[in-house]
Chains A and B, each alone.
Chain A
Amino acid sequence: NAGVTQTPKFQVLKTGQSMTLQCAQDMNHEYMSWYRQDPGMGLRLIHYSVGAGITDQGEVPNGYNVSRSTTEDFPLRLLSAAPSQTSVYFCASSYTPTGEFPGELFFGEGSRLTVL
Chain B
Amino acid sequence: AQSVAQPEDQVNVAEGNPLTVKCTYSVSGNPYLFWYVQYPNRGLQFLLKYITGDNLVKGSYGFEAEFNKSQTSFHLKKPSALVSDSALYFCAVRERSGYSTLTFGKGTMLLVSP
Chain A positions within 8 Å of B90 at CB level? 42-43
A102 touching B102 in the complex, CB below 8 Å, given contacts A42-B90, A42-B107: yes
Partner of A42, one of B43, B98, B106: B106
- B107 nearest CB neighbor, chain A only: A42
Q: Number of residues in B with C-beta < 8 Å to the partner?
A: 21
Interface bin, chain A = 20 to 34
Q: Residues of B with Cβ closer than 8 Å to A?
A: 34, 36, 41-46, 49, 90, 94, 98-107
Judge whether A40 is part of the interface by a CB distance below 8 angstroms: yes
Taking a contact as CB atoms under 8 Å apart, the answer to whether B102 and A105 are in contact is: yes
Give 13 pairs: A residue, B residue, CB < 8 Å, sorted on A.
A50-B99, A90-B43, A90-B44, A92-B43, A92-B44, A101-B98, A105-B44, A105-B46, A107-B43, A108-B43, A109-B43, A110-B41, A110-B43
Q: Given contact pairs A44-B104, A102-B102, A104-B46, enumerate 15 new A-B contacts (beta carbons under 8 Å).
A: A42-B90, A43-B44, A43-B90, A45-B103, A58-B101, A92-B43, A92-B44, A101-B98, A102-B94, A102-B101, A106-B46, A107-B45, A109-B41, A110-B42, A110-B43
